[in-house]
Amino acid sequence: MSDTQNIIQQTEKRSAHNYYPLPIVINSGNGAWVYDVEGKKYLDMLSAYSALNQGHLHPRIIARLIEQAQQLTLTSRAFYNDKMGQFLESICQLSGFEKALPMNTGSEAVETAIKAARKWGYLKKGIQENLGEIIVCNNNFAGRTVTIISFSTEDQYRLGFGPYTPGFKAIPFGDAKALEEAITPNTIGFLVEPIQGEGGVVVPPEGYLQEIREITRKHNLLLILDEVQTGLGRTGEMFAFQHEKITPDILILGKALGGGVYPVSVVLADNEIMDVFTPGDHGSTFGGNPLAAAVGIASIEVLIEENLPQRAMELGSYFMDKLININSPLVKEIRGKGLMIGVEIKEEYGTARPYCERLMQLGVLCKETHQQTIRFAPPLIITREDIDWALEKIKLVLDCK
Q: For residue 42, give Cα distances in angstroms to 286, 342, 381.
A: 33, 20, 15
User: What 3-state DSSP class applies to 345?
Assistant: strand
Q: Which of 119, 255, 337, 393 is catalytic?
A: 255
Sheet-wide strand order for 331-337: 331-337, 340-345, 373-376, 367-369
Residues in the chain: 401
141 catalytic? Reply is yes
Would you say 305 and 227 are in contact if contact means Cβ atoms under 8 Å apart? no
- H, E, C per residue of 191-229: EECCCECCCCCECCCCCHHHHHHHHHHHCCCEEEEECCC
CA distance 305 to 309: 10
Would you say 139 and 153 are in contact if contact means Cβ atoms under 8 Å apart? yes
399 catalytic? Reply is no
Query: Nearest-CA neighbor of 68 among 86, 54, 43, 52?
Result: 86
Contacts of 100 (CB under 8 A, 6+ apart): 88, 91, 92, 266, 267, 268
User: What 3-state DSSP class applies to 283?
Assistant: coil
190 catalytic? Reply is no
Per the rule left: phi > 0, alpha: psi between -120 and 50, beta: everything else, 346 is beta
| Dihedral (CA of 370, 373, 376, 377) sign | negative
**Active-site residues: which are they?**
141, 226, 255
